[in-house]
Amino acid sequence: MNAITPREAALSVRGLRKAFAGVAVYDGFSLDVKRGDILAIFGPNGCGKSTLINMAAGLLPVDGGEILYDGRIVDEVRIGYVFQNYREALFPWRRAAENIRYPLRRMGLKRAEIERRLESLAADFRVRFDLNAYPYSLSGGQQQLVSIMRALAVEPEVLFLDEPFSALDYETTLSLRTLLQQVLKARKTTTILVSHDLEESIVLADRILMLTRRPTLVADDIAVDLAWPREAATLSAPDFIAIKARCLDVFTRAVAGA
Amino acid sequence: MRALLVPAGGAAGFIALWWLAVLLRLADPVLLPSPLETFNDTAKSFTQGPLLHDLWRTVTRTVLSFLVACAIGVPLGLLLGARESIYRAVEFVVDFFRSTPASALFPLFLILFGVGEGTKIAVAAFGAALVILFNAAYGVMNARRTRLLAARVMGASPLRVVFDVMLWEAMPQILVGMRSGVSLALVIVVVAEMFIGSTDGLGQRVIVAQSLFESGLMYGVIFVAGALGYLLNLTFLLLEKRFIHWAGK
């Protein structure tokens, strides 16, 4: 992995410390994420993948160290966050479009700008369902797509995805994954993806961070130099298989190492 | 159609049994008048007597105490629910007074508010407010954590989170509280009308009818009070269904 200069980093983590009930999950953890990159975080259960992005998103306090966005703390930047459970993340009392407008209203944008962003997102994701429907009348994939649109609407400096496809069926996952990589790459959105699906992590990421059991360290930092866009054929390409083999090897050792 | 016919059949059966009991002279006719006599006495009291005015008075007292209860119970419940540690501290007191029969508080409220309209409304509002408060607080405490976090991540201020998420999350439970609250308010108002220096209201009418042996009217007022309670409950059930369209989905 080439070194990331401070100017290229959208997110820098330095000397992060976090413990739960006296058990250290992070004890001096550091990370830089390059602007425009999609970083996938992969590791054994309980290694604190979600804990890391929750601390970065300001949803969980840190015990020590710092997490900076180009020198600023999380309260000073726009971030997007897509939760695993879309059913509990969307506001069911608001229509899908109103859910997407919500963060834009909080930003105090003008109505015309809000509508422009909504339309551009709907076009980018080729939305064919009715955005005026209430979330509960949409399918699971459509609901998670609305969550993703809501997170992207603010044009976030960093987008966090917490196992966004784990509650969806494989067919829906494949199509949503394809759409998502196109949009993220077109918008050059810096993204951190937490996933427990290795294939998904490799397909979506520019870089995979393999974590160890706690106290969590970086077991390996792997660049994914596969061409964009990545399609169904990518999954059987030799490069893909080589990366997957390397990741599996690291993962097995990381899990066994505990 | 069937949904209406079956309950109507049940009600008709009830009246038929009543009539049968009258025809078989199972009770003294003074104590058990026929359904027809009951209907006639009640209709007469509605058109020529004070019953319409009584009904109106009971409805206004109930609605007024319900509104006072909402104005106190909803904001206080939201506040306490949002700060769970405070709620835990006052939970026992809320539960205790929620379980205390409101009628036992009449003497206390008579001292506080005197013999008049204020006492009836205050004691009914007190009882209903605790039920509404309790439900609102639990609604907020059971709010989905993910939704609160989602709102925070989207830049909602703490006050915004209360109004944009907590209030809505608690809404189904608040409406349940309102439904129980309005029923309780009616119960307390009717009892208060019987015993706290009243000259009107359904409670007053039923006890006057009883003491004057106007048993037809007495039964009629009981049914009017029953219909009022039923309609209030039904109104809130329909409100819940229509307004809380997302519940359970």
In CATH terms, the fold of domain A1-77+160-168+195-258 is Rossmann fold (3.40.50)
Model confidence at A147: pLDDT above 90: yes
Q: Which residue has the higher pLDDT, B180 or B27?
A: B180
- Tell me if chain B has a CB within 8 Å of the CB of A57: yes
pLDDT category, A251, cuts 50, 70, 90? confident
Tokens of B227: 């219909």
Query: Average pLDDT for residues B136-158, to the nearest whole number?
Result: 92
Q: Give yes or no for residue A258 having a pLDDT over 60.
A: no
| pLDDT digits 0-9 by tens, A115-127 | 999 999 999 999 9
What ipTM, to 2 d.p.?
0.89
Residue A212: pLDDT above 60? yes
Task: Name the average pLDDT for chain B.
Answer: 91
Mutate to test the interface with A, among B142, B148, B154, B169 (most CBs of A within 10 A): B154
Query: What does pLDDT average to over chain A?
Result: 90
For residue B165, the domain's CATH number is: 1.10.3720.10
The helix/strand/coil state of A212 is: coil
Chain A residues within 8 A of B156 when measuring between CB atoms: 106
CB B77 within 8 A of CB B140: yes
Q: Which residues of B touch A (CB under 8 A)?
A: 144, 146-147, 149-150, 152-156, 160, 164-165, 168, 171, 245-246, 249
Mean pLDDT of A225-244: 87
Report the C-alpha gap between A114 and B38 in whole angstroms. 65
Alpha carbon A251 to chain centroid, angstroms: 20
Determine the distance in angstroms separating the CA of B169 from the nearest CA of chain A, rounded to an integer: 9
Q: Which residue of B has its CA nearest to A90?
A: B147
- Answer yes or no: is B16 within a domain: no
Segment A148-165 shows an average pLDDT of 94
Tokens of A70: 């180009």
Distance (Å, rounded) from C-alpha B21 to C-alpha B15?
A: 10
- pLDDT for res B43: 92
Q: Closest chain A residue to B152 measured between Cα atoms?
A: A59
Q: How many domains does chain B have?
A: 1
Burial per residue of B228-237, b for 16 or more beta-carbon CB atoms within 10 angstroms, e otherwise: bbeebeeebe
B6 in a domain, yes or no? no
Q: What residues contact residue A231 under an 8 Å CB cut-off, 6+ apart?
A: A178
Domain that holds residue B227: 41-243
Mutating which of A93, A94, A117 best tests the B interface, going by the most B Cβ atoms within 10 A? Answer: A93
Q: pLDDT grade, residue B98 (50/70/90)?
A: confident
B164 min Cα distance to partner chain A (Å): 9
H or E, element range at A24: strand A23-34
- Residues of B whose CB is below 8 A from A92: 246, 249
Per cent of chain A over pLDDT 70 is: 98
In a domain, B17, yes or no: no
CB neighbours (10 Å) of residue B43? 13
Q: Where are the domains of chain A?
A: 1-77+160-168+195-258, 78-156
Chain B: closest CA distance from residue A106 (Å): 6
